[in-house]
């Protein structure tokens, strides 16, 4: 069940002489805070920074602006390519990297800290297995997402990336097809894709690589939509799992807003709201969620 916060009274955003809002009860989703993969990635990066060496994150280690700001304050530099690194430590992001990028790190003789989520590493192994066994690899995911870029590096030459039903409906008939998924894709989409591929291929091999932690967060969002009138999802705008929570809340018929910082919460959103539901993506720290709740309290004036 969602976790209730003390009721807060919000002031009318409409100016003097207009009715004031009633009490708004703030509810947190039952699943919040860092997932274990994000926790590991942040801790490994911070430990490297504490060593006093130059530390480089190969892309944002996790998709959360507050964490990026926190690491930058500790001297961690974000780079987009190994070519930008001259000495020091390279931290591989939680989303993983393709094998050619890892080879480039080794070729330069750089010290490497691997912060790839264990579930992403598992998906990479399964993707390589399918390619090695001669299957055409079908990846469910967003083509330009760093996790998918990493997966396709293990998929061999015969692979395809699909994200929507319109895309996979266009797949041709195949003799042997293997299916994996970006970890943050919704489980229902994976099930639908697998059902379709099974119908158009003579032989299908499937590895379910949807993250179970992501599934729990999505289930918690669904529960929250049953308890709250308005949903605020907190997390990076470039976070796939966070955006999926927003989509899920809206699919349940709720108004949902996606914010990164507490300051983005607007008083007018709360007009007519009795219960405000707050949930964060898997890379959103609890202190950010608490700040959002406190912002709601501040709107009480």
Is the CB of residue 185 less than 8 Å from the CB of residue 142?
no
Question: What DSSP designation does 20 have?
Answer: P
Burial class (CB in 10 A: 0-12, 13-18, 19+), 173: exposed
Residue 180 structure tokens: 């994996």
Q: Please compute Rg for the chain using Cα positions.
A: 22
The active-site residue out of 147, 163, 223, 244 is 147
Residue 299 structure tokens: 């709107």
Helix, strand, coil percent values for the chain (each to nearest 5): 40, 20, 35
- Does the active-site annotation cover 291? no
Is the CB of residue 136 less than 8 Å from the CB of residue 174?
yes
Is the CB of residue 296 less than 8 Å from the CB of residue 267?
no
Residue 129 structure tokens: 């297995």
Catalytic residues: 147
């Amino acid at each position: 069940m969602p976790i209730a916060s003390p009721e807060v009274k919000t002031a009318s955003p409409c100016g003097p002489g207009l009715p004031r809002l009633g009490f708004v009860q703030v509810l947190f989703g039952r699943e919040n805070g860092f997932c274990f993969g994000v926790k590991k990635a942040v801790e490994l990066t911070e430990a490297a920074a504490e060593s006093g060496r130059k530390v480089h994150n190969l892309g944002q280690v996790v998709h959360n602006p507050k964490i990026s700001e926190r690491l930058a304050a500790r001297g961690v530099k974000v780079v987009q390519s190994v070519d930008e690194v001259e000495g020091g430590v390279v931290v591989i992001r939680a989303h993983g990297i393709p094998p050619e990028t890892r080879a480039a790190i080794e070729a330069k003789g750089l010290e490497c800290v691997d912060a790839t989520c264990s579930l992403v590493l598992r998906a990479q192994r399964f993707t390589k297995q399918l390619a090695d066994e001669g299957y055409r690899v079908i990846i469910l995911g967003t083509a330009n997402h760093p996790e998918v870029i990493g997966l396709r590096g293990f998929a061999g030459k015969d692979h395809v990336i699909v994200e929507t039903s319109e895309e996979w409906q266009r797949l041709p008939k195949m003799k042997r097809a293997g299916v994996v998924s970006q970890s943050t894709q919704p489980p229902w989409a994976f099930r639908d894709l697998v059902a379709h591929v099974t119908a158009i291929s003579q032989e299908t091999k499937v590895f379910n690589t949807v993250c179970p932690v992501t599934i729990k967060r999505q289930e918690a969002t669904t529960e929250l939509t049953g308890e709250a009138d308005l949903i605020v999802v907190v997390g990076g705008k470039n976070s796939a799992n966070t955006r999926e929570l927003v989509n899920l809340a809206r699919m349940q018929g709720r108004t949902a807003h996606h914010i990164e910082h507490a300051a983005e919460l607007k008083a007018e959103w709360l007009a007519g709201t009795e219960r405000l539901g707050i949930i964060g993506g898997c890379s959103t720290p609890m202190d950010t969620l608490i700040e959002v709740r406190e912002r709601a309290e501040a709107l009480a004036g």
